[in-house]
Chains A and B, each alone.
Chain A
Amino acid sequence: MTKQLTIGESLRSQGISRREFMKFCTTAASLMAVPPALIPQLAKALENTPRQSVIWLSFQECTGCTESLTRSQAPNLESLIFNTISLDYHHTLQAASGAAAELARTEAMKANHGKYLLVVDGSIPLANPGYSTIAGLSNKDVLLEVVEGAKAVIAVGTCAAFGGLPKAAPNPTGAVAVQDLITDKPIVNIPGCPPIPIVISSVIAHYVTFGVLPQLDGLKRPLSFFGQNIHDRCYRRPFYERGRFAESFDDEGAKQGWCLYKLGCKGPVTYNACAIFKWNDAVSFPIEAGHGCLGCSEPDFWDAGGFYQALSVPLTGAATAASYAMVGGAAIGVVGGLLNRQKKSEAKQHHEVVSIEDLKRT
């Protein structure tokens, strides 16, 4: 049996210099809000740790998450660290297929039982197991089988983290998120449609170094990446403050780069790091390209009131409710008013006239 390479050995075999490796460690530490003093520890851990076994399961998904992670024009630091894990099973990336592929999965599960990381992208259909199967097994069965020996689960993408697009109303497949089915394993959600690649690699680096998942927010997202919302870090924020808004996608305001709030930007309620790291080698991100944030890293973003409806605008239906209420109010008001009049008239009829004689009586 060949010796399992450590991450350091693996990187050197690919021609990665020590300088590049340390640059990655520094970047990862800074991204994960790890104190600079721990960078040597991070480097040492990455250097000496055997490549982490990772099993990647894809369920109801579009492969966009994998595309996001791998489709870099030139190998970047994220993909380098991604290469240093032992990706033992991944539909899209593995060469094997059919029975051989499934054998790779079961062998990895056996060899690394209790130690491997399970990465999931895509939601799990519960309405009918036949909606999505792998080698004849339902997504739910595969997930429960693989998660049993996993040390932790990373739900990559909004579908795995929160159900995403498959769960959008009316949710025909009965899609659920990983965390809806798995409650006895540590889970970290890395939502986004797709998620930012360096977030995935940094979480894995953190896990390899410290043996634990990073600090998470209430939705189990790494706080260091999802701690601030898009709006707060948006370069168009000063226009919001000054009340300068684009009213349409081709007006003067849009050309001047004003705030897209009125056009439905969900930046204020979306926690993600797009405004900081951006996309395509930090070239741009949706708001910079002139379109509002869709809020793709938030639960139920697809059904969150319309992409082009401003956040402060109520969902449609208030006018109908108000119309019925007005009719109801008018009916009650008329009846109440008539009853009051009747009461007034009765009181008038029973009113006793006081004469001067009555007042004289003692």
Chain B
Amino acid sequence: MNYTEFLLWVRGPAFHFATAILVLGLTLRFLEMLFLGSPRQYAAVRSNGIAGGIRTVISRFAPPEPGVFQRSWFIIVAGYLFHLGFFISFFLFAPHIILLKQVLGVSWPGLPAPVINIITIVSLFAMITLLINRWYYPVLRFLSDFEDYLSWTLAFLPLFTGYLAFHHIWLPYPLMLALHILSVEILMIVLPFTKLIHTFTFIIARWTNGARAAQKGVQV
């Protein structure tokens, strides 16, 4: 198999397979969650919970209480840099927008490549420092299991291979591009079955918690 065939394979059958597993996994997990149901509420609800749901979705973007940021500022800042960087480089890089237009049918303007480049470097740096931090603190290290390292690796590889492909480092561009796409496909396959599913569930989880909390208590 030469690199053209490999690239065609990752753009074709491998992508179809990864998409199928992603869709199957997400459908399965969401239905599972739906079937779990919610606990019966015996008291009269205070409100419909919509405002509370929206409030929690937004408020949890910030550290919960004073002091938390001072104690864990590094994890919060590096975590934000990585997440935002991943989000921006995924959604605002022109070649990705073309791909998303094909899949989702909608399009939006992108950012210039050098900007994406800098954001990717910052993201990669943030991820590496977060990993070092995880190893450095005994408690964090103790709490980390295989799934944590797997999640880190699967999130790191698309950014890293994308950066290498863009700059033509190590391997010919078509081969590195194929590896980049493959790394995303592995992420797509694993995502629904690990904690990486938070990509899709974090808003639902925040909403549910916020809405239920808002429904409790005495109506004033």
Contact A329 B103 (CB under 8 A): no
**Alpha-carbon separation in the docked complex, A334 to B7 (Å):** 36
B34 at the interface (CB under 8 A from A): yes
Q: Chain A, 310-342, contact with B by CB distance < 8 Å: what is the 0/1 string?
A: 111111011011101110111011101110110
Q: Given A269-B174, A315-B15, A317-B16 in contact, is the A322-B23 Cβ separation under 8 Å?
A: yes
Given the complex, which residues of A lie within 8 Å of B16, measured CB to CB?
314-315, 317-318, 320-321
Given the complex, which residues of A lie within 8 Å of B70, measured CB to CB?
none
Could you tell me the distance in whole angstroms from the C-beta of A311 to the nearest C-beta in chain B? 7
B94 at the interface (CB under 8 A from A): yes
Contact B114 A241 (CB under 8 A): yes
A197 at the interface (CB under 8 A from B): no
Given the complex, which residues of B lie within 8 Å of A337, measured CB to CB?
31-32, 34-36
A301 at the interface (CB under 8 A from B): yes
B173 at the interface (CB under 8 A from A): yes
**Alpha-carbon separation in the docked complex, A35 to B117 (Å):** 35
**Alpha-carbon separation in the docked complex, A105 to B203 (Å):** 76
The residue of chain B having its C-beta at the shortest distance from the C-beta of A328 within the complex is: B24
Q: Given A310-B98, A329-B25 in contact, is the A242-B7 Cβ separation under 8 Å?
A: no
Given the complex, which residues of A lie within 8 Å of B17, measured CB to CB?
321
Contact A311 B95 (CB under 8 A): yes
Could you tell me the distance in whole angstroms from the C-beta of B172 to the nearest C-beta in chain A? 7
Contact B94 A299 (CB under 8 A): no
Could you tell me the distance in whole angstroms from the C-beta of B5 to the nearest C-beta in chain A? 6
Contact A303 B99 (CB under 8 A): no
Contact A326 B110 (CB under 8 A): no
Partner of B94, one of A219, A261, A268, A324: A261
Interface size on A, residues (CB 8 A): 48
Contact B23 A329 (CB under 8 A): yes
User: In the complex, given contacts A304-B7, A310-B95, A337-B32, what are 14 additional A-B residue pairs having Cβ atoms less than 8 angstroms apart?
Assistant: A241-B112, A241-B113, A242-B113, A243-B94, A269-B173, A310-B99, A314-B11, A328-B24, A329-B24, A329-B25, A333-B29, A336-B32, A340-B35, A341-B35
Which B residues lie at the A interface, using CB under 8 A? Answer: 2-5, 7-8, 11-12, 15-17, 19-32, 34-37, 94-96, 98-99, 102-103, 109-114, 168, 172-174, 177
CB<8 Å pairs between A and B, sample of 19: A231-B173, A240-B113, A243-B109, A243-B111, A261-B94, A262-B98, A269-B174, A305-B11, A305-B12, A310-B98, A315-B8, A317-B16, A325-B21, A325-B27, A326-B24, A333-B27, A334-B35, A337-B36, A338-B35
Which A residues lie at the B interface, using CB under 8 A? Answer: 217-219, 229, 231-232, 240-243, 245, 261-262, 268-269, 271, 298-301, 303-305, 310-315, 317-318, 320-322, 324-326, 328-330, 332-334, 336-338, 340-341
